[in-house]
Amino acid sequence: MRRLLAASVLAGLALATAAAAQTMSPIAIIPRPVSLTPAHGAFTLTARTTIWADRADSAVARGFARDIAPSTGYDLPVRIGVGASGNRIIFKRAARRDTTLGPEGYRLDVRPGVVTVTSSAPAGAFYAVQSLRQLLPAAIFRGAVVPDQRWTAPAVSITDRPRFAWRGMHLDVSRHFMPKEFVKKYIDLLALHKMNVFHWHLTDDQGWRIQILKYPRLTEVGAWRAHTLVGRPHGDSTQDVFDAKPHGGFYTQDDIREVVEYAKERFITVVPEIEMPGHSQAAIAAYPGLGNFGETMPVWDRWGVSKHILNPSDTTIGFMEDVLTEVMGLFPSTFIHTGGDEADKTEWKASPRAQAKIRALGLAPDDPANPHDVRAENELQGWFTNQIDAFLTAHGRRLVGWDEILDGGLAPRAVVMSWRGIDGGIAAARAGHDVVMAPGNYTYFDHYQSVNQAAEPLAIGGYLPIDSVYAYDPVPPQLEPQYAIHVLGAQGQVWTEYIPDPKQAEYMAFPREAALAEVLWTPRDEKNFADFMTRLPADLARLQVLDVNYRR
Ligand code: ACM
């Protein structure tokens, strides 16, 4: 099997090399379109090309003109209407009765002299543009004029639409802060592969990264840690080695608005994550009253799961509702992620206040003979989550949480993100919840890309090669069809304990993100890893031009 795979990869590379030697770029679109038929001839973009669009698509058309201006040097006009002559690109609406494309689908017809994009909505037009950019030479992505380049795209007819509605990538900016400019670059790269959700993991034990006006200490204190562990934890924590550099940073609300707008122009929804009640040590460091025993503590300087979690009081719920009020003001996303994973129950078990809350809520007590029984505390987390869920729901939003939120009983509109394998996703879908699949074995891009770990930069562990990502199917085979409709899609996770900077984030995310994009867009029956590998070299050439430090 491995041997066969390797042979087909080599064949793919040979094909791509042969194609690269020709003047025209190979047809190598990722994710693979639903249907693609090559035609005769080619379209060549020139300084006299005119772009025509109906009014609704004019922003997408102008975005295309803006994107290709630096490399081509062309300042192509965008006119409203349908041009009848001359070298032109036309964006038009599908007939109203044509429901085949859906809100994100498109038809793209490239012919000598004319490119026609047909869609039912601007998102489809935007995805047609991504395919068109991938039909042009990779140099189209350059940031300065490329001399002597002919901007030719092979003639094709494409009909295309996505398989899943949630095509996501996550980025943890808490463990290591990632500057706004990189976040925008990441969003550009997701858009190139027709992803449509950016899950922004903004808070955790090791750093709070979003400015909250009502609670300034969240970033004044919570965004900074004294130092960072060097390498892995030693085991004997007294032997751990730290760098001597404070680490931190945060996004102002203006920064956030900028990123959200940037993503929106690229048809990407930004789903913010504010962790609660666990993964909250940075918040407790800023406001010790959020903790269980009122003690002061630093923003955490270790990896793993801090034992310090939010106290389950009405005051704390109110604090988090204040935070979420500002978050909702910044993020138009229907979906607001409130974490919920790995909330260590040790403190709640020891806290008289938490225990009084358990009694006041009438939750069934833990078995007194079993010190490890935390059923009551899990139900208390369920109460916490449901308070927040009711608040978000009252504001027209939907709570998303990691699959632990299932443990304490869950409101029906809440969305479950299945990370501890797929069982949580299956159980949630059967219970009628919408689900986003994010299982560690297939979607954790912080895992190694080679079995030879010594040859790779330090990572958290695991092994997730690109063919495993590609083989993943977000709909578990054992999930009955009537529940499979609850699988909104899936997403790739980039946790950054061992990812100190943007270049390393690129190394871990790419090209595995390209494989996941195809998992999420292309019909299951059209997926073919050998074929993907024939297209990948052209995609890597694009990433090269875009200065992406992808893994070779
Ligand atoms: C997680 O990886 N703790 C969601």
Q: Establish whether residue 341 lines the binding site of ligand 1, counting it when its CB lies within 6 angstroms of any ligand atom.
A: yes
Name the residue with the closest Cα to ligand 1, atom 3: 341
Number of Cβ within a 10 Å radius of residue 437:
31
pLDDT lower than 50: segments of the chain? 1-22
Token pair belonging to 49: 């090309």
CA of 141 to the centre of ligand 1 (A): 35
258 lines ligand 1 (CB under 6 A): no
204 is catalytic: yes
342 lines ligand 1 (CB under 6 A): yes
Ligand 1 atom with the shortest distance to the CA of 444: 2
Q: Which amino acid is at 22?
A: Q
First to last CA, the chain: 22
Contact in structure between 88 and 51 (CB atoms under 8 Å): yes
- For the chain, which residues make up each domain, given as ranges? 31-160, 171-522
Task: Kindly report the number of other CB atoms within 10 A of residue 336's CB atom.
Answer: 24
Marked catalytic residue, from 54, 67, 342, 526: 342
Ligand 1: nearest atom to the Cα of 339: 4
- The candidate with the shortest Cα–Cα distance to 286, out of 207, 183, 361, is 207
Beta strands in 183-244 (DSSP E): 197-201, 203-204, 207-208, 224-225
8 Å CB contact between 492 and 169: yes
| Ligand 1 atom at minimal distance to the Cα of residue 495 | 2
529-533 contact pairs (CB < 8 A, 24+): 529/5, 529/467, 529/470, 529/471, 530/5, 530/8, 530/9, 530/11, 530/12, 531/12, 531/32, 532/30, 532/32, 532/470, 533/8, 533/9, 533/12, 533/13
Bridge-based pairing state of the strands 197-201 and 166-172: parallel
Q: Atom of ligand 1 at shortest distance to CA of 440?
A: 2
CA distances from 357 to 215, 291, 389, 507 (A): 25, 15, 19, 46
What's CA 14's distance to the chain center, in Å? 32
* pLDDT, tens only, 162-171: 999 999 999 9
- The rounded Å distance from CA 464 to ligand 1 centre is 16
Q: Is 378 left (phi over 0), alpha (psi -120 to 50) or beta?
A: alpha
The response to whether residue 444 sits with its C-beta less than 6 Å from ligand 1 reads: no
Query: Of residues 204, 275, 389, 539, which has the active-site annotation?
Result: 204
| Residues whose CB falls within 8 Å of the CB of residue 2, separated by 6 or more in sequence, listed in order | none
Q: Which of 276, 495, 498, 499 to mutate to test the pocket of ligand 1 (most atoms within 8 A of CB)?
A: 495
Instruction: Please give the structure tokens belonging to residue 46.
Output: 């020139």
Nearest CA to ligand 1 atom 2: 419
Which class is domain 171-522?
Answer: alpha beta
Q: Looking at domain 31-160, which of 3.10.129.10, 3.30.379.10, 3.20.20.140, 2.102.10.10 is its CATH number? A: 3.30.379.10
CA gap 286, 305 in Å, rounded: 18
Strand (E) or helix (H) holding 519:
helix 512-521
If one residue of 309, 419, 422, 460 were mutated to test the ligand 1 pocket, choosing by the most ligand atoms within 8 A of its CB, it would be 419
CB-ligand 1 contact for 344 (6 Å cutoff): no
pLDDT at 409: 86
Spacing, Cα 236 to ligand 1 middle (Å):
24
| pLDDT score for 14 | 42
Do the beta carbons of residue 66 and residue 54 sit within 8 Å?
Answer: no
Please provide the DSSP assignment of 65-82 as one string: HHHHHHHH-----EEES-
Alpha carbon of 279 to ligand 1 centroid (Å): 10
Question: Is the CB of residue 531 below 6 angstroms from any atom belonging to ligand 1?
Answer: no
Question: Which candidate in 193, 247, 279, 486 is catalytic?
Answer: 279
CA-based nearest residue to 266, from 504, 443, 104, 156: 104
Tokens of 138: 């990779």
* 3-state DSSP assignment of residue 88: strand
